Amino acid sequence: MRRCPYLEELVKDQRIMLRVYKFDCHVDHQSKRKYALSDSPPICVRNYEDCHLYRAERRREDQTITRYTD
Ligand code: SF4
């Protein structure tokens, strides 16, 4: 499974009709929840390259590396 490198933890909780995904993001240090009726995991384990938090952190890291290699 492809997963965002900044994803700290992902827990799936199955309730009667509802799936609850709980996940922690290393970038904003927030615990988040996503509710879905069918299997629909959060962006962190799908197309995480589209996440604005991922992009911002990746850009910040790339700038740091560039600074050290210049
Ligand atoms: S995809 Fe976005 S919200 Fe999810 S862990 Fe990565 S940076 Fe955080």
| Tens-digit pLDDT profile for residues 28-60 | 999 999 999 999 999 999 999 999 999 999 999
Instruction: Please check whether residue 38 is in contact with residue 19, taking contact to mean a CB–CB distance below 8 angstroms.
Output: yes
Which domain covers residue 14, as residue numbers? 7-69
Q: Whose CA is nearest to atom 3 of ligand 1?
A: 25
Q: pLDDT of 16-27, one tens digit each?
A: 889 999 999 999
Question: 21 in ligand 1 pocket by Cβ < 6 Å?
Answer: no
The total of structural domains in the chain comes to: 1
18 alpha carbon to ligand 1 midpoint, in Å? 22
Confidence of residue 1 (pLDDT cuts 50, 70, 90): confident
Q: Is residue 2 part of a domain?
A: no
Report pLDDT for 15. 85
Does some domain include residue 22? yes
pLDDT at 66 over 90: no
| Contact yes or no for 4/48 (Cβ under 8 A) | yes
Average pLDDT of every residue of the chain: 93
